Amino acid sequence: MNDALVTSLIQNALTTLMWIVAPMLAMAIIVGIIVSLIQTLTSIQDQTFSFAPRVIVIFTVFLITFPWILQVILTFAESIFLDFTPYIQ
């Protein structure tokens, strides 16, 4: 296994990871901004008010996108295992 192969494998793994986390991260950012605006407008300073909606939204987005996430992970793993010969040299 040479350096280029390891670098390529790590790059593909990180790219796949970023695609998987992107929907949850985007929704967490959007909900965080909305909750911050509501807190600013109503002068509520409760910490749980900003934390709980984000956790609920991230969990909901995870449940909705789970089949897609599983498909992306399986495709990545399949692409590695179908051409496994470069990794064992």
Average pLDDT for the chain: 92
Domain assignment present for residue 87? The answer is no
Domain assignment present for residue 89? The answer is no
Domain assignment present for residue 78? The answer is yes
Given the structure tokens 């609920």, which residue do they identify? 56
Residue 74: domain span:
3-82
| Confidence at residue 89, expressed as pLDDT on a 0 to 100 scale | 76
| pLDDT at residue 33 greater than cutoff 80 | yes
Distance of CA 46 to the CA centre of its chain: 27
Calpha distance 50→57 (Å, rounded): 12
Mean pLDDT of 37-65: 91
The torsion angle over the Cα atoms of residues 64, 69, 71 and 75, rounded to 10 degrees, is 170
Domain assignment present for residue 46? The answer is yes
Does the predicted TM-score (pTM) go above 0.85? no
How many domains is the chain partitioned into structurally?
1
Domain assignment present for residue 88? The answer is no
